[in-house]
Structure 1
Amino acid sequence: MFAGIIASVVSSIESSIARSTSVGGLSLFLWLLALSPAAALEMRVAIEDGTSEVKVGSSTPATVKDGSGRVLGQLDGMNAFLAVSGNNQIALSTWQAGQMWIEPGQGGFVYIGDRWYRGRTKLVLADGGLTAVNYVDLEEYLYSVVGAEMSPSWPSEALKAQAVAARSYALYQRKHRGTDTYDVGDDTFWQVYVGTDKEDPNTIAAVNATRGEILTYDAQVIEAVFHASSGGHTEDVEQIWQEPKPYLRGVPDYDGDAPVYQWNETFSSGELSNRISGVGTVDEMLPDLTTPHGRVISMTVIGSGGTRSIEGEDVRRALNLRSTLFTVTPQGDSFNISGRGFGHGVGLSQWGAKGMAAQGYNYRQILGHYYPNTSLLGLSQ
């Protein structure tokens, strides 16, 4: 299995570039220096967190070290090994240690869980179990993120905009939400990272074309949040979350061609009653408070057994809706929910970026539209 997977990976991915040690807590100026070709920045990405065991491996023979850097031995390439936590130790093959490094040789890839990743692996005891952290060059991390977050077939200027947003978001998360063990996770809260699975020549080209570029406000990297589609207009951030930010302001969107620009769902009264508790049979759903562009902040649900005021986000989750931009219309014994967009509606609209790129805008113009009041900085500036 390993041989077939790695053969396809190697044939479609560029060779790994040089890596260096992590440089945490840097100023914006030092970040830019760290992103120079001579001093690449490593991200620490938690792939498995607090588990009892995890499958690991390497595409090439790999050196295994303990936490102090002492060599424990070698793992054969193209084989899977089970790392297990217990008695405040990590057991892997014939070795035990409080921490372990797996460092592939000859530009190899590491295997964690069920996927291949660039870089190297650190196994630590954290969060009540075993945590596997992928140490990977920031730019190579983005090869995967851009492909996971945006279709590689989209226009190159949209992919470049996504690359800059994702790079900025990763560094912001690293600075503000990273832990002693890792900088970011790999799911949608952080941004999706699935290793080499989502790399593509187009995502690699977009990352390389924008290498080291980040969005800043007041000389600080911004929280460059993004979403799929706003449904016509993005939102001021404080309408969705609490803290206002001058670079997360609502702007007209270019997402009219998105398949999720408009959508409809129909629920019977019984289905709603099963998903929204505490009111009996649902009779009415009325918005209490909406954003200036129509997103539901809170809603009153009236039923045979009582009345509840529910946050719009809680309604969205309960009904598995694409966004909180929706209206509810009774239709006899059922309710039609008509909505627009997909996601929270703040920052970059991915379908909007695609739409702007199709109209001839470049990635700098796209980023300037969705993140007003920001500066795009890189080593050349």
Structure 2
Amino acid sequence: MLNRLSLLGLTLGWLWLMAIPSQAARLLRVAIAQRVTSIKVGTSTPGIVRDRTGRILGKIPPLDSSLGQLRGGKVVFKQWRGSQLLIEPEAGGYVWIGNGWYRGKVRLLATKSGLFAINNVDLEQYLYSVIGAEMHPHWPLEALKAQAVAARTYTLYKLKTSPSALFDMGNTVIWQVYKGLNTESLNTQEAVNATTSQIMTYSGKPILAVFHAAGGGHTENVENVWSNSLPYLRGVPDYDRDTPAYQWIKRFSPSQVSSRLGVSNVKRFISLRRSPYGRVLKMKVVGVGSSKYFTGVQLRERLGLRSTKFRVIPTDSGFTIEGNGFGHGLGLSQWGAYKLALQGSSYDRILRHYYRGVKIGQ
């Protein structure tokens, strides 16, 4: 059971959120939990429980969570059982899913691979949370607005290009980070509301509006990171200098490098190919009696590096890796947007810098 007093205090503290009107024309299905055996669900106001056809099965009291479980291929929640169950708070309330409050409703769905908890939420209200999870909510408003348009565009691009029968978006960095009310603020709501329904297009279609923390002085051409070239994802000067994500250092012992890369007694790193902006595309790792070739992305993943823009320096105790930037280096640089906004740039000017040749409109 959720702690009623603490939850009541939180709910009262969030009453101002309930008054914000929705202006969105699209409902999203966001997967909060995937392939689990159970998850806690509740509502801040009395909740209605429906079956897969929408028929009302009953009601649950407010501020009292219960486990939704997968049993015998069905969802079991309190006294109800079915292939899927929908829990809907009354009077503009919120749903508790796992360990946090969310707007909208929650659908518990039984599949052969496990239980899914899907948050059905208005697109614009979804963005209230995404902006606060992807950027600091106290950053300049123009930077937050740029992030709002980028995140909205990315969402619609994914809906168009990667349709799924179960859900539209996940809630992690693989998609966009989404944590419900926990990452909302007045600033993130203002940024979303001020740009309602605005997206970026190229040749009349929503663009792949990817973004990252910092470009390390310059963003990258998409074909140097992924396979296909896109005219709007071109490398441009970044403005992230003197930010926390601009430079980084990581140190490894020889045994750490050898175990992570599968090369015995690593002696040297030989850079074979770099992008015009300094990111590693191909590198040879030389050990005693063997060597291997890696892409920059592979090295970043295996060594836990912040970016592929790095150089390796042999030391007496192993290897020091010095790098710049944080993330894949494509599209919007969040720290760059922060610096540009501080200098007085508007959100649309920021977006047109990082995404080349795009149009911004409804």
**TM (normalized to structure 2)?**
0.96
Query: How far 1:272 sits from its partner (Å)?
Result: 1.3
2:89 & 2:11 partners in 1: Cα distance? 15
Structure 2 match to 1:302: 286
Structure 2 match to 1:116: 101
Residue of structure 1 aligned with 2:60, choices 75, 86, 92: 75
2:81 & 2:112 partners in 1: Cα distance? 19
Q: Is the 8 A contact 1:178 1:184 kept in 2?
A: no
Residue of structure 1 aligned with 2:329, choices 333, 345, 368: 345
Sort the Cα spacing of 1:77 and 1:265 in 2 relative to 1 into closer, same or farther, 3 A. same
Structure 2 match to 1:27: none
Sort the Cα spacing of 1:91 and 1:18 in 2 relative to 1 into closer, same or farther, 3 A. farther
Structure 2 match to 1:177: 162
Q: Is the 8 A contact 1:257 1:355 kept in 2?
A: no
1:244 aligns with 2:229: yes
Sequence identity (%): 46
Q: What amino acid sits opposite 2:341 in the alignment? A: A
Task: Give secondary structure in 2 for the equivalent of 1:282.
Answer: coil
Q: Is the 8 A contact 1:227 1:349 kept in 2?
A: yes
Structure 1 match to 2:13: 11
Query: How far 1:88 sits from its partner (Å)?
Result: 2.5
Sort the Cα spacing of 1:6 and 1:247 in 2 relative to 1 into closer, same or farther, 3 A. farther
Q: Is the 8 A contact 1:16 1:118 kept in 2?
A: no
1:191 aligns with 2:194: no
1:327 aligns with 2:311: yes
Task: Give secondary structure in 1 for the equivalent of 2:227.
Answer: coil
The 5-angstrom pairing of residues 1-381 of structure 1 reads: 1-5=3-7, 7-12=9-14, 13-15=16-18, 37=23, 40-126=25-111, 128-277=113-262, 279-378=263-362
Q: Deviations for 1:74-124, whole angstroms, at most 9, x for unmatched residues?
A: 011100111111223211111111111101001100011111100001111
1:373 & 1:255 partners in 2: Cα distance? 22
Sort the Cα spacing of 1:6 and 1:192 in 2 relative to 1 into closer, same or farther, 3 A. farther
Task: Give secondary structure in 2 for the equivalent of 1:79.
Answer: coil
Sort the Cα spacing of 1:110 and 1:16 in 2 relative to 1 into closer, same or farther, 3 A. farther
Q: Is the 8 A contact 1:368 1:374 kept in 2?
A: yes
Q: Is the 8 A contact 2:151 2:209 kept in 1?
A: yes
Query: How far 1:5 sits from its partner (Å)?
Result: 3.6
Q: Is the 8 A contact 1:62 1:74 kept in 2?
A: yes
Sort the Cα spacing of 1:212 and 1:357 in 2 relative to 1 into closer, same or farther, 3 A. same
2:213 & 2:40 partners in 1: Cα distance? 33
Q: What amino acid sits opposite 2:17 in the alignment? A: E
Q: What amino acid sits opposite 1:309 in the alignment? A: Y
Q: Is the 8 A contact 2:108 2:116 kept in 1?
A: yes
Query: How far 1:16 sits from its partner (Å)?
Result: 5.7
2:180 & 2:12 partners in 1: Cα distance? 13
**TM (normalized to structure 1)?**
0.91
Structure 2 match to 1:23: none
Task: Give secondary structure in 2 for the equivalent of 1:281.
Answer: coil
Q: Is the 8 A contact 2:7 2:63 kept in 1?
A: no
Q: What amino acid sits opposite 1:257 in the alignment? A: D
Q: Deviations for 1:286-316, whole angstroms, at most 9, x for unmatched residues?
A: 1121111111112100011311001211111
1:373 & 1:41 partners in 2: Cα distance? 27
Task: Give secondary structure in 2 for the equivalent of 1:287.
Answer: strand
Q: Deviation above 2 Å: which 4+ runs of structure 1?
A: 5-13, 16-19
Q: Is the 8 A contact 1:253 1:352 kept in 2?
A: yes
Query: How far 1:17 sits from its partner (Å)?
Result: 5.7
Query: How far 1:251 sits from its partner (Å)?
Result: 0.6
Q: Deviations for 1:257-294, whole angstroms, at most 9, x for unmatched residues?
A: 221211112222222122221x2111001112111111
Query: Which consecutive unaligned segments of at least 5 residues does structure 2 have?
Result: none
Q: What amino acid sits opposite 1:72 in the alignment? A: L
- Output the aligned Cα RMSD: 1.4
Q: Deviations for 1:328-377, whole angstroms, at most 9, x for unmatched residues?
A: 11123421211000000000000000010011100010001001110001
Query: Which consecutive unaligned segments of at least 5 residues does structure 1 have?
Result: 20-36
Task: Give secondary structure in 1 for the equivalent of 2:215.
Answer: coil
